[in-house]
Amino acid sequence: VAAGVVGAPRMRDGVELRVNVGRADYMKDWKARRFIASGWSALSRVDIVPMTSELLRVYIAGGANVSTIRRFDGDYDALRARRPKVLEDSARHVQHLALPHLSKTNHTVCMIGTSGGDDSYTALSLGARHVTGIEMDPTIARFVTETYRSFAGGLFTDPRHAVMVVDEGRSFLRRSSDRFDVIQQVNNFTPIAFQNGALNLSETYLLTVESFREFHDHLTDDGILAITRYGAVRLLANAVEMFRRMGVKPSEYSRHLFVGEGGRPVEYTFMMKRSPFTPEEVDRLFAFYAASGARKVLYAPYRTNDLPARVGNLYLQIATAEDPSPLYRMGCFDFRPTTDDRPFFNRMKVLGQQDRHRERLPLLPAEIREVERPGRLDKRVPQGDIPPLIVLFEGILLAGVFFALPLASRPELRASLRGSRRVLGYFACLGLGFIFVEICLIQRLVLFLGSPVYSI
């Protein structure tokens, strides 16, 4: 605390301090006492606040993440009949939820991380026959299906149209024999693990090469995997690596991929189709983006002349290169595919390498330039490495206060320990080894048990 107080004036100039909008709104609503319901689970605290007569806001972990519950009258046929209007509005405002549904009707959807259910509601309004919503937090599931069941029109309570499963997304797919026309994730990245101190659970196995293979195997023959979030360049690298491991050639797998810009750098959309995209499907995607006029397609097959210039288009080069591995490293940035043994998806920079001369990196994507901004203090530290380094500093500081200081101040205590150095070293190494094994097993057991709580 003292170090923070002393260093704050200097640090303020070196680090860009960003206010989490969700947290700012949460504090306003908390001070105004607008919460109408709250609940706890082993994962996080969940609070409900009315936004409008049609929407309830869901605050997760004090605003670290935000979702919504939408009012619904329970008429699924009328909801699906709204598809033309929803598509028109989605194209006008570049709502990426619609992208994998453009060429599909009467289809099945697996929505990973559905939270308050708004994305599942949208999928139904785009013509989906059935939606399976996967949500890991049981408190959110209880609010949607029980507490506000009438407000949400019984969404997820009629198995003919939609169900909600409390589980981790990849764990659910591993145990399921179902295949889906669309598997979708929308901004399925939360800082909840960091906020709650569970740094060993902060990385996700939903975004590895192995997970992409499992998604691929759970798609129907014409199915689409769609992921909307930050890091589309690494999503593309994961898909390319998956196809290469399957023995598919670049000339073939390049026709299975799509990347499009979003309204913000955290909203790029990546899509991977089990079968090749058809020219007609690609034309629909370009027409969707043309309707907005503000964003562009970064990679799609067949119409490469309509894409940004190859010289500055990393997505195009990765999707079509005979050997994309040299493209994954540039300067201090690292876009290599993530695997189950190395699942650090959000780590786009190399710790210790200086972030400078970006003007010499014409292929560096805009999404990376925006999110990984350089600063005087953290120009050698990736954004994602700052929280664990802070925790490491805190651990060293507390160890010094509670162990080093007593030893330094009590000569008789030091004298009593001199003959026990080997014993102390043995138990120190034993504890360190246990921690290393424990952290790895906790993380890997999430895949088997389906919940971080069970794995802990």
In this structure, is residue 55 part of a structural domain?
yes
Identify the pLDDT of residue 244.
97
Split at pLDDT 50, 70, 90, the class of 240 is very high
In this structure, is residue 223 part of a structural domain?
yes
In this structure, is residue 413 part of a structural domain?
no
More confident residue, 400 or 183: 183
Split at pLDDT 50, 70, 90, the class of 384 is low
In this structure, is residue 361 part of a structural domain?
no
HEC sequence for the chain: CHHHHHHHHHHHHHCCCCCCHHHHHHHHHHHCCCCCEEEECCCCEEEEEECCCCEEEEEECCCCEEEEEECCCCCHHHHHCCHHHHHHHHHHHCCHHHHHHCCCCCCEEEEECCCCCHHHHHHHHCCCCEEEEEECCHHHHHHHHHHCCCCCCCCCCCCCCEEEEECCHHHHHHHCCCCEEEEEEECCCCCHHHHCCCHHHCCCCCCCHHHHHHHHHCEEEEEEEEEECCCHHHHHHHHHHHHHHCCCCHHHHHHHEEEECCCCHHHCEEEEECCCCCHHHHHHHHHHHHHHCCCCEEECCCCHHHCCCHHHCHHHHHHHCCCCHHHHEECCEECCCCECCECCCCCCECCCCCCCCHHHCCCCCHHHHHHCCCCCCCCCCCHHHHHHHHHHHHHHHHHHHHHHHHHHHCHHHHHHHHHHHHHHHHHHHHHHHHHHHHHHHHHHHHHHHCCHHHHC
Identify the pLDDT of residue 376.
52
**What does the pLDDT average to over 327-333?**
92
Domain that holds residue 285: 8-334
* Same domain flag for 299 and 432: no
Split at pLDDT 50, 70, 90, the class of 209 is very high
* Same domain flag for 321 and 437: no
**What does the pLDDT average to over 200-216?**
83
* Same domain flag for 301 and 195: yes
| Per-residue pLDDT tens over the stretch 36-73 | 999 998 888 999 999 999 999 999 888 878 899 999 99
In this structure, is residue 197 part of a structural domain?
yes
Position 192 pLDDT exceeds 50: no
Identify the pLDDT of residue 77.
95
Identify the pLDDT of residue 375.
59
Highest mean pLDDT: which range of 117-121, 201-205, 350-354: 117-121
* Same domain flag for 198 and 305: yes
d(CA 109, CA 36): 31
* Same domain flag for 317 and 431: no
| Per-residue pLDDT tens over the stretch 122-174 | 999 999 999 999 998 999 999 999 999 999 999 999 999 999 999 889 989 99
Domain finish residue from 299, 334, 369: 334
Domain finish residue from 313, 334, 355: 334
Centroid of chain to Cα 238: 14
CB 49 within 8 A of CB 36: yes
Identify the pLDDT of residue 408.
78
Identify the pLDDT of residue 155.
95
Give the list of residues 6+ apart from residue 76 with CB closer than 8 angstroms, or none: 124, 158, 161
| Per-residue pLDDT tens over the stretch 337-357 | 999 888 888 888 888 888 878
In this structure, is residue 13 part of a structural domain?
yes
Position 1 pLDDT exceeds 60: no
Identify residue 94 by its one-letter amino acid code: V
> How many domains are there within the chain?
2
Identify the pLDDT of residue 48.
96
In this structure, what token pair is assigned to residue 395? 């651990």
- 217 closest CA partner among 238, 242, 237, 236: 242
Taking the CA atoms of residue 385, residue 404, residue 4 and residue 333 in that order, the dihedral angle to the nearest 10 degrees is -20
Identify the pLDDT of residue 203.
57
User: What share of the chain in percent tops pLDDT 70?
Assistant: 90
Least confident range of 76-90, 213-227, 433-447: 433-447
Domain finish residue from 288, 317, 334: 334
In this structure, what token pair is assigned to residue 386? 């700052």
Identify residue 452 by its one-letter amino acid code: P
* Same domain flag for 23 and 140: yes
* Same domain flag for 326 and 428: no
| Per-residue pLDDT tens over the stretch 267-326 | 899 999 999 999 999 999 999 999 877 788 999 999 999 998 888 899 999 999 999 999
In this structure, is residue 36 part of a structural domain?
yes
d(CA 136, CA 140): 8
In this structure, is residue 387 part of a structural domain?
no
Question: Where residue 241 sits, what CATH number does that domain have?
Answer: 3.40.50.150
* Same domain flag for 60 and 192: yes
